[in-house]
Amino acid sequence: MLVVSRFLAIMSIVTFKGAFLGAQPYELQPVSGPGGSEYAHQKVQFWDKATKADGFWLFEPSDPMPDSAEVIVFMHGYGAYNPMAYGKWIKHLVAKGNIVIYPRYQYNLLFPRPNAFPANAAKGIKDALKLLQTPGHVQPKTEKIIYLGHSYGGVINANLGVNWKKYGIPEPAAMLLAEPGSGPFKGARLDDYSGLPKDMNLLVIVGEDDYVVGAEFGSIVFNTAVNTPKRNFVIQRRDTTSQYGVWASHSEPYCYDLDFDIGVRNFTALRVLGTSRVNFVDFYCYWKLGDALIDFTRTGQNGHIAFGNTAAQRFMGMHPDGRPVRPLDVILPDVQIKLVSRRQNSSTTLD
């Protein structure tokens, strides 16, 4: 269990107990390497500045509290404006030494319309960076800022990646789009992503059984980001051959943690509570590839895990009986993705 103490209504201190000091805090999680449990910090400062649609939540590493830290923008999916939805992933990132900015971008499921999401998210990012510049906060490093996003958050991030100058936010050095898509909506989508930064590192990850948004949007980004050569398209597959079922649904990036619960119980929050799990897909897909992407972008390390269709990139861990979990499929930039069906990632074909 994690210990939480709350005060001043706008800020919380969440304590990572001793399990984070080199031991495995979660079953099946590797001890070291990208996705692993080597953590540098034991607490996170959790700031709530999200009363409006353009607000934000802020997570800073503590115990020890560094003077400065690199920044990650974490863009939630549609309706997931309760940060508990990705709480364990956020804790993982903060315990590794990152500041995490979590823009709200929508007030509720109906307001505002999706065309307003990028501007709201951008204001949240800018306001969070301003707060970080004030006394009592970890000073932000933004030269190599990373943008992570799930579902509609991936659509917003891709838009911001093209329009970062317009919105006055830091240029993304890397971006991970986890099962990106907009479902029946079209707001914030672009026809073409050739305007993404040329030197940005880009991972697009889709789930084989994502019947909420499918692989359509991710394929558009991957196919049209022709001026961003460092990009891979990753397909996460199901594997139900052991008691540790590995699924590939739209819900796989969810990993709720009630330490960050703000009480919202809309349709998305209920889906999170009903489908969230922490398993191989977190440790060896989203967390591993996210960590490797961060390392490669900032230090040049672990590029062989983030990119290249290597064995290390595809590896998804081992079943308890010693068999490898079904590996990831990776598509490189010289291949165009052709979709037979928007909702069936398994029917994706390649030219």
What share of the chain has pLDDT > 90, as a percent? 86
Hey, which residues does 118 pair with through a beta bridge? none
Tokens representing 282? 């977190």
**162-197: b or e for each residue (b if 16 or more CB lie within 10 Å)?**
bebeeeebbbbbbbbbbbbbbbeeebbbbeebebbb
**pLDDT value of position 242:** 82
**330-342: b or e for each residue (b if 16 or more CB lie within 10 Å)?**
bbebeeebebeeb
Q: Which residue has the higher pLDDT, 318 or 346?
A: 318
**104-121 per-position pLDDT tens digit:** 999 999 999 999 999 999
What distance in Å separates the CA atoms of residue 334 and residue 292, rounded to the nearest whole number? Answer: 22
**pLDDT value of position 3:** 32
CB 192 within 8 A of CB 228: no
**34-64: b or e for each residue (b if 16 or more CB lie within 10 Å)?**
bbbbebebbbbbbbbbbeebbbbbbbbbbee
Q: Mean pLDDT of all residues in the chain?
A: 91
Tokens representing 95? 């315990």
**203-245 per-position pLDDT tens digit:** 999 999 999 999 999 999 999 999 999 999 999 999 998 888 8
What phi, psi does 18 have (nearest 5°)?
-55, -20
Task: Please state the domain extents for the chain.
Answer: 3-350
- What global pTM score does this model have? 0.93
Cβ burial of 136 (10 Å; 0-12, 13-18, 19+) is exposed
Which runs of consecutive H residues, i.e. helices, occur in the chain? 87-95, 117-132, 152-167, 216-224, 267-275, 280-281, 287-299, 303-306, 311-314
| 2-16, 81-95, 227-241: least confidently modelled range | 2-16
CATH 3.30.420.40 for domain 3-350, yes or no, is no
**59-70 per-position pLDDT tens digit:** 999 999 999 999
